[in-house]
Chains A and B, each alone.
Chain A
Amino acid sequence: MTSQERSWSIDAASAQAVTKEALDAAPVGLLVVDASGMVLNVNRRFLALANRADNAKSPVHLSDFDHALEVPTAPGEHDMGAAGRLVWTKLASDGWVGTIADRRSSTRSTPPGTDSLTGLGDRDSLPDHYDGLQEGEEFYALYLDLDRFKRVNDTLGHDTGDALLRSAAKRMRSALRSVDFAARFGGDEFAALIAGPLDEQEVVAIADRIIDKLSRPFLINGTQVLVGASVGLARSDGQGFEEVLRRADVALYESKRRGRGRATWYAPEMMTALEDRRKLEHGLRRALVLEEFVVYFQPQYSLGSKATTGFEALVRWQRPEGMMQPSEFISVAEETGLMVKIGNFVLDRACSEASQWPEPFTVAVNVSPLQFMDEGFVASVKDCLSRSGLPPARLELELTETLLLNDVSIVEGRMRALGEIGVRLSLDDFGSGYASLSYLRKFPFDKIKIDQSFVREPLADDSARKIAAVVASLGAELGINVIAEGVETEEQLERLRSQGVGAVQGYLLSEPIPANEVAGFMTEWNEKARLKEPS
């Protein structure tokens, strides 16, 4: 028997019954009318959505519906108010089919207060749950977000991200007790109300269990996906629900700052610190507008040519209250994304200053990972060069090891693009972070900058000094220039010289100086030749 024969073997009546059943099972409201508006078919969901009880007299014509329905003249939408939007499609047989996407089904038929993706509660459901608690009943708020979730979404796509969130919700739920309430606030943010009374260790145990389960591998579309979780905890303490939740959020922020993958209790000083950071952020935004940032320059001295060959541009924040060092504001600038703007400002100032210097003085500019990964980075380098007229070979960009942890193909592509322009690239703070020798092979660096921790006592112990020597010879082998930063004493200088380091920078030569002192430094310095040469 062929499949065609088989399909004909069902009698017409039962075929119709199957069709009706299928239509009724469809997750959309469906109505079929002929050109005059006579109803040819209508499913149960359409009747329910159009406010007609299932057992009411079956509508015969469009006008039988509660809503003012008319035979459409063209395909399009018709607003049916609370029922949703009726979409008309023309049939080849001159009739029309109307569909209504059930609003409730578009949110996966989830009851109100439920997060449609995960089935946990949603943001709005949490206060309701709180209201259900007995007056004065002790509870704990847990605020959580997934570590590295954004990377999953960016690299594996939103479908994978959504699947991960669904699994994560299940795991979180499984780590909680039945009396606890879990909700998703959107994105990768989750919260829970943990019912008391419990002692603090018991609450931490619950949080740790959640973190443990979310840190275990996920398997999505045949791929292993690894994330983690950070948690903030706060106790009720007689505070209102919203305040407790806010405190847990503040504690979560602290967990993330301390390196993620951990639970942290709220402490009042966190709120103060957060307030300080907010003020700092506000100050930074204002500083950008008011141009309160100034660029200082620290000389770099070549031990080979026995001369200052260039300067590193260093940003300072000249506030009305006084000068602020980058170490005090960089982390906030990074966190808030303001670093991109600040970095571009420094780059622009540095190029324009350096273009006034005689050949062949170079300028080295620090580039934060955030700034480098910004899509417009290469273009803004080009802009700065063309605006200032600085020859590209005299601009050196100092990149950090942490940058190299980003998407390798993007980083490498950008480095090549910059290389093609003729800009020099140096690897800053080498050895201070994730130093890997493979970076030197994989990425086209012109220079390595040995981190001051390998140069300057008391940081540099004997083995650190040996590492500096190895890096120097490594650079020589690879044909990459090596410069040491943080040189403060003649002794350090002599050691680095004997180790074969090609250039130095540090307070021994000069502290960073304002732009208007650079020209004076150049002449004065070369006359004085302050650095003693071994006789």
Chain B
Amino acid sequence: MTTTTSERLLRVAYFSLNAIKLPRDQAYREVDLILETSQTNNARCGVTGALLFNNGAFAQILEGPGDAVEETFDRVQIDDRHHDVTVLQTDWVEGRMFPNWTMGFAGNDEAAAIHYAGIADRSSFDIESLSASDLATLLGEIAKRNEMKARAA
């Protein structure tokens, strides 16, 4: 069987800076809104991924069919709520790192907040210091914890 572009999965990891300068709780609400829309949009087109957010920056991984990921990425680019997008990685991959997790938000995860206290306390991520694979590992761990929490509930 030949593998076409649309059958392989595209994984993209990127950082961007948050343009929403709001009090923390309002910013959270804003992000909840982003998540809600992207969850519905992305579930439909087969894009999954993970989002890490704090008051200063977004870090996101998108996975799915190439066209769909590119479309999602493009939609994200138009969004005025962030800027200075830096793509860390684009890769064609065999399987998903985040198969069951359409989108997640690490900002209100207590365990994550403690675990990543160093990051969360700063006004923005130190983009230079985190590589794409660091980011993937980081988001992967949060995803796992969220799943375990969901199962326990």
A residues apposed to B, CB below 8 Å: 167, 170-171, 174-175, 209, 212-213, 216-224
Contacts and interface: CB of A to CB of B under 8 A. Distances in A.
Nearest to B88: A224
A222 B74 contact: no
B135 to A, nearest CB: 16
A213 B77 CA distance: 7
Nearest to B83: A212
Chain A CB within 10 Å, residue with most, of B78, B85, B92: B78
A175 B78 CA distance: 8
A190 to B, nearest CB: 16
B78 A219 contact: no
Nearest to A166: B74
Interface of B: 5, 10, 12, 14, 66, 69-70, 73-74, 77-78, 80, 83, 85-87, 90-92
Given A170-B78, A175-B78, A221-B66, 16 more contacts: A167-B74, A171-B74, A209-B80, A212-B83, A216-B83, A217-B14, A217-B77, A217-B87, A219-B12, A219-B70, A219-B74, A219-B87, A219-B90, A222-B5, A222-B10, A222-B90
B30 to A, nearest CB: 19
Contacts of A167: 74
B105 to A, nearest CB: 23
A69 to B, nearest CB: 40
A452 to B, nearest CB: 36
A223 B77 contact: no
B3 to A, nearest CB: 13
Contact of B74 (A212, A218, A223, A224): A218
Contacts of A212: 83
The 3 closest A-B pairs by CB, nearest first: A174-B78, A219-B73, A224-B87
B78 A171 contact: yes
Nearest to A226: B87
21 contacts: A167-B74, A212-B83, A213-B77, A216-B77, A217-B77, A217-B86, A218-B74, A219-B12, A219-B69, A219-B87, A219-B90, A220-B70, A221-B5, A221-B70, A222-B10, A222-B66, A222-B90, A222-B91, A222-B92, A224-B87, A224-B90
A291 to B, nearest CB: 52
B58 to A, nearest CB: 13
Given A219-B90, A223-B90, A224-B90, A213 B70 contact: no
Contacts of B10: 222
Contacts of A219: 12, 69-70, 73-74, 87, 90
Contact of A213 (B5, B14, B73, B78): B78
Nearest to A163: B70
Contacts of B83: 212, 216
Nearest to A220: B70
B69 A217 contact: no
A211 to B, nearest CB: 12
Contact of A217 (B5, B78, B85): B85
A216 B85 contact: yes
A171 B80 CA distance: 11
Contacts of B66: 221-222
A220 B67 CA distance: 8
Contacts of B14: 217
A191 to B, nearest CB: 20
A217 B14 CA distance: 10
A119 B92 CA distance: 30
A219 B87 CA distance: 9
Nearest to B16: A216
A170 B74 contact: yes
A209 B83 CA distance: 11
A167 B66 CA distance: 15
Nearest to A214: B77
B72 to A, nearest CB: 9
A298 to B, nearest CB: 46
Nearest to B5: A221
A218 B85 CA distance: 10
A201 B92 CA distance: 43
Contacts of B73: 219
Nearest to A224: B87
A148 B74 CA distance: 19
Contacts of B70: 219-222
A400 B87 CA distance: 31
Contacts of B85: 216-217
B5 to A, nearest CB: 7
A217 B13 CA distance: 12
B62 to A, nearest CB: 9
Nearest to B14: A217
Contacts of A224: 87, 90
